[in-house]
Structures are given as C-alpha cells and as structure tokens.
Chain A
C-alpha cells in the first residue's frame, strides 16, 4: 500500500495543504465568515473530502487499468477467488490510501486552521462512504478505460469541477435561486456537505438527507463495479 507513497500519499496531502494555506490562511482574512466560521476553517472539511475522493478514484482507476493493460490482472482472474473477494480487495486498497491521506490532512489541518471535529463518528461515516463511492467509480473507469487519457478526462472534466461546484470553497446557500437549487442536483455537493457537518456541525442541508443520498450513490456505484467483476464484462473477452 505504501510502495508508491510519494505519488499516492504525499502528493495529494501537499496539494490539499497548499489549498488550505493559499486560500485559507492567505486570502481567507479578506473573506467574511461563512455560516459563523472563519473562511480558513470553513474550507477544511471540503478540501479533505476532495483530496480523499480524488485519491480513492485515482488509485483504483490506475491500478485496474494498469493491471488490464499489462495483463497481470490475469493472475488474479484465474486464481480461485470469488468475484466479490477480488472486488473488495480493490475497494479496500483504494480506501486505505484515501483514509491515510484523510488522517494525515486532518492531523495537520486542525491545529493549523483551528477547525473543530464536532461529530467524529459522522465525519468518519461520511468519508467512509465517499472513499467507497469514489473507489468504486475508479474501478468502473479503470475497467472501461481504453487509455490513460480516459481516466484523467473523468477526473479533470467530471470529478474536479463537480467537487469545486459542490461547495468546497463556499456555501451554496449563498448562491441564490436558481443556482442554489441547481447545486443540489450535483451529487458531490452532498459528499462535501455531509463531511462538513461531521467536522463543523454545520451544513447547508440536513446531514441525514446528505448522508442518505451519499449512501444511495455509494450502493449504486458499488453494485455496478461488483457487476463488472461478477460477469467479467470488459474484463474477460
């Protein structure tokens, strides 16, 4: 898991910390409070969620695609392991790296910014759901991808914009109608909002609703990735 730690752990941690320093500590003083929190505190949960989501996605999509491309996936598919076990192994692999990033970021960010951790169990549930969902999405893209470009396309053109527009740097309640309602159609808004409620105890929507929506998305993506392993669709000609 830590074999490529500079690439898989250190790089995303540094990137997220740079966001916190530049946007939170440097520019944050010129931005007014959001929902009663200083800006540098407000953005911490969203940045942690963003780093974890991207790590879970990238790890799994590149792991699966590399294994398909170099065909060492054959060693796993021909082994006497049920499909669910192989699938679970990949999900756990991506989740562990992602969770490690979350732990390291939390350990640095809370003392630097003074952000609280109001509901640790809720925050843990939110990040477990998001790492599982994005890990499953990574598997799906890794299975369908025809080239390395396909993976970065999904990351740069789909995931990153949806996370940014999902309220990492602002409260969507400030957008006003109709942008606030449109933001509520973005599934990643609920991922960010649920994580924020776990850390700050404050959110734009009821945390039960956001956690439920994230859970439904997670179940849908995990079912899809499990289907790919169970049937061998695109994995076995």
Chain B
C-alpha cells in the first residue's frame, strides 16, 4: 500500500462572506517527500488554500488530509509548519521567547523547547539577536526567525508562503540553501512564490493556480513541453495570465 500523500485536497471550496469565491472545487495532491511549488497571481487563491490547510480559514466545503489525517485535526496541525508571507511575530517577545512559546504551543516541555530554540537560533544565525524583540530585527532577520519558528517543532510538511518576497539576493540564496537542506532531510515542502526562477530552481513539481482552481501541474520541464514554451514564464503567461493579457491587448487595440 502506498504511503498517504503529504497533502490530499478534494473538492475544496471557499466562499467568503462578501461572496468572493476564493477556491473553486480545488483538487490537489502533494506527494510525501516532494518539493512542490504553487504559482499564481495575486488573488488566485494561494493564501486561502494555505490558510485552509493550516486551520486559519474555514473551508465552505471539501476535504483536506495531511499524511492521511483529517485537515484541521490535532495530528494534521502537529505535522505542519508554516512561515507566512508577512512576518507575523509577537512584538513583545524576543527571538528566544518567540521560539520557546511556539514549542509550548506544539506540546514541548519548557526544557525541550528551550534546547530546540537554542538549536534553531544557531542554525539560522540569530545568536547575536537572541534577546532582541521582533520589531528591532531587520527584515532579513525576521524572515529567518519566521523560518526557524516554522521548523522548530520538526514538522513533516513545511509550507512557505512567499518566503523570499522583498529580500535581497544574498538572503534569498541563503534561505534557498536552508530550504534545500531541509528537503534533503526528507521534509515535504510546499512553496508559493511569485518568482518563477525560484520555483524552477527549487521545485520537483509545480502547480499553477488561477481563479481558485489548479489549471496546470507538472515538472518545470514537463510544463514547458506540454505548453510548447521555452520558459516557465511563457507557460505562466499562457495558462494563468493568458486571459487577462488577451483582454488588455484587446482593450489597447480598441
């Protein structure tokens, strides 16, 4: 019997209170151990999808399973680590306290969480900032802390929502190397990004999301072949942004 997928989503729909349909009967399977990229424009449904998987958004209908466990359940939540797009850090806590408290939320005792926090502080080169509160950290340091927090409880599935948005080239490559090592150690990674070259460089498989649905899915090479494109950008423009670009061109001609 095959091991369960890291993430198995069937018929997921989310309609917000104002009537916006963010996810439209979406199906997605992310295999265990994969490095999976999710690409799409703003408003495509990426963040809603991640929120639904992480118990932060209430789905309207559909089913989510995390390594075979019901989505939103305690076991599923324990197996997921998430680094959100915007640094959402408690401004009253230091780097160490942020990690210590996170360990507590995931059932670690104070001693275990403290030891693990110190490990993550070293792993993410935050030693000099150990006792500094989040608002006093640079943007890059906050990104590292977000990643350290997401990994602290040793999740099996790590979800990274635009982890390199707005960071300089040096830090981007540094974060890439952290994430690559993590994947090599067997952790499943679900990455959302706007940077196509990032998805191509890191991901085994890529899904393109638009209008709350998955519109294409394959390896980067497979997507190029199936869409007769030379670059991933061309695939993206044809599948995700094609409709909007055609409309814009039509409007310009008129």
Known interface pairs A80-B106, A232-B58, A236-B56. Does A74 touch B77 (Cβ–Cβ under 8 Å)?
A: no
Given contacts A3-B92, A70-B88, A71-B88, contact A77 B55 (CB under 8 A): yes
The residue of chain B having its C-beta at the shortest distance from the C-beta of A75 within the complex is B102
Contacts of B91 in A (CB 8 A): 66, 70
Q: Which stretch, B79-87, B179-187, B207-215, touches the partner chain A? A: B79-87
Given the known A-B contacts A81-B105, A232-B58, A236-B56, are A74 and B74 also in contact in the complex, defined by CB atoms under 8 Å? no
Q: Check A30 for interface membership: any CB of B closer than 8 A.
A: no
On whether A75 and B149 interact (CB within 8 A), knowing A70-B88, A70-B91, A80-B106, the answer reads yes
Contact B58 A237 (CB under 8 A): yes
Contact of A75 among B16, B74, B75, B88 (CB under 8 A): B88
Chain A interface size band reads 10 to 19
Q: Which of B9-31 contact A (CB under 8 A)?
A: 16-17
CA distance A3 to B133 in the complex (A): 12
A79 within 8 A of B: yes
> Taking the complex as formed, is B54 at the interface, i.e. its CB lies under 8 A from any CB of chain A?
yes
Q: For the complex, count residues of B whose C-beta is within 8 A of A.
A: 26
* A window 48-83: CB within 8 A of B: 66-67, 70-72, 74-82
Residue A4 lies at the interface, judged by CB distance under 8 Å to chain B: yes
Interface status of B90 (Cβ within 8 A of chain A):
yes
Query: CA separation between A3 and B56, bound complex, in Å?
Result: 28
Nearest neighbor of B82 in chain A, beta-carbon distance: A78
> Which residues of A are in contact with B by a Cβ distance under 8 Å?
3-4, 66-67, 70-72, 74-82, 232, 236-237
Mark B residues whose CB is within 8 Å of A: 16-17, 51, 54-58, 74-75, 77-78, 80, 82, 84, 86, 88-92, 102, 105-107, 149
Q: Can you list 30 pairs linking A and B with CB atoms under 8 Å apart? A: A3-B92, A4-B92, A70-B88, A70-B90, A70-B91, A71-B88, A72-B88, A72-B90, A74-B82, A74-B84, A75-B102, A75-B149, A77-B56, A78-B54, A78-B55, A78-B56, A78-B82, A79-B77, A80-B74, A80-B77, A80-B78, A80-B105, A80-B106, A80-B107, A81-B105, A236-B57, A236-B58, A237-B17, A237-B51, A237-B57
